[in-house]
Amino acid sequence: MKINREKRYVIVFIIDAFILLFFILSMIYNSKIKKETSSGNPFELEEESDKNNYFKYNVSSNYPDKAYCICGKDTFLDYCNEELLNSGCKILNINKETKNLRKFSQCEEIQNKIINENIKLKDIFELKTDSIYSLISTLMGLNISIFILIILFFPLYEKYMKNKVGEYKEFKEKESKNDRENCCEKAISAFCICCFGLIFLLGILILIAIAILIILIINIIIFSIACGKYNSSDTSKYLEFLECTNVNKEGFYKFSFLDDLSSHFTALKIVQSFYIISIFICVLFTVYEKIIFCD
């Protein structure tokens, strides 16, 4: 069933509105991520003195006779009082002989690496900021290219098609009035010229649509790789570490933007996905309308 002109314009307007909306949102979050990863690995800024502020209790192998009160996943550098013992907590005396036998949780393992093994954060958490920065920059360029092709080409193409069809109708009417004897021959000639012109224009439309789809596929690949790089990085692991009981979050103020990076990437995954879907729908609808229901 053919869609009338009014309904088609409404559909096109809605699709273009969604494209514009998700393009703007995508560029906003891409820009934020690009800015947050532009300086490379933030853990390169870490100084030795920063470690003094990382933990509430500075557990160190220099104090081997301290005891831990273990309550589930939480560990405190102190003996358990009677109330904690009754609730199921346990006392673990740590010394040089028994320390290596202990099964550390992730929090305790990282804490041990920082304090006792003196390992830097950049060697514990791999962020892959350089790769993410390059991929996000490429993604922004692809988004802009697709947006320009969609917003500029399709409306111009629509206007050009209308002008050509209008010229054909005017030519047909003019020739019919001026020369009744040869009107059929000239009308057929004009019709053929118009047909070849429309076929040529439809060919250009298909080529542009294919180009957009190719760029869109590259866009999807780059977007997927960027998400994969972020997911395989240790950003989430680092943010989970900040929730550990003995961690002093304020001591990690130099790297506070990593929390924003996580939320911005989550938002980008949503808006970029909708941007890709809206572009795909726009291309298919435009080609379908022009080829199947060309008027």
What is the average per-residue pLDDT within 95-117?
62
Band (pLDDT 50/70/90 cuts) for residue 88 is: confident
Beta bridge partners of 55: 247
| pLDDT over threshold 90, residue 274 | yes
Residue 284, CB half-sphere, CA atoms under 13 Å: how many? Answer: 7
pLDDT at 73 over 80: no
**Percent of all residues in the chain with a pLDDT value above 90, rounded to a whole number:** 21
Q: Which amino acid is at 125?
A: F
- For position 229, what pLDDT does the model report? 92
Whether pLDDT at 222 is above 90? yes
More confident residue, 24 or 42: 24
Tokens at 292, concatenated: 């199947």
CA atoms within 13 A on the CB side of 100: 3
Best mean pLDDT range from 46-60, 155-169, 203-217, 226-240: 226-240
Which residues neighbour 45 within 8 Å (Cβ) at sequence distance 6 or greater?
Answer: 254, 255
Q: What is the pLDDT of residue 172?
A: 54
**What angle, rounded to 10 degrees, do the helices at 183-232 and 257-292 form?**
160
Q: Which two tokens stand for residue 202?
A: 């439809």
Decide if pLDDT at 4 tops 80.
Answer: no
Amino acid at 241: F
- Token digits of residue 11: 């559909």
The set of residues, in sequence order, having a beta carbon less than 8 Å from that of 27 and lying 6+ positions away, is 140, 143, 144
What pLDDT does 292 receive?
Answer: 57
The distance from CA 120 to its chain's CA centroid, rounded to whole angstroms, is 29
| Residue 38: DSSP 8-state | T
pLDDT tens, residue by residue, 113-146? 888 788 889 889 988 898 999 999 999 999 999 9
DSSP label at residue 7: H
Out of 116-130, 141-155, 271-285, which region has the weakest mean confidence (pLDDT)? Answer: 141-155
CA-wise closest residue to 121 among 35, 263, 247, 262: 247
Query: Helix axis angle, 129-148 relative to 5-37, nearest 10°?
Result: 160
Which residue would you say has higher pLDDT here, 258 or 72?
258
pLDDT of 181 reads 47
Query: Domain extents for the chain?
Result: 5-45+127-292, 56-119
Mean pLDDT, the chain, integer: 76
- Statement: residue 260 has pLDDT above 90: no
State pLDDT tens for residues 179-193: 544 545 555 555 455
Residue 110 has pLDDT above 60, yes or no: yes
Q: How far apart are CA 201 and CA 193, in angstroms?
A: 12
Say which residue, 163 or 254, is predicted with more confidence.
Answer: 254
Q: Is residue 270 over pLDDT 80? A: yes
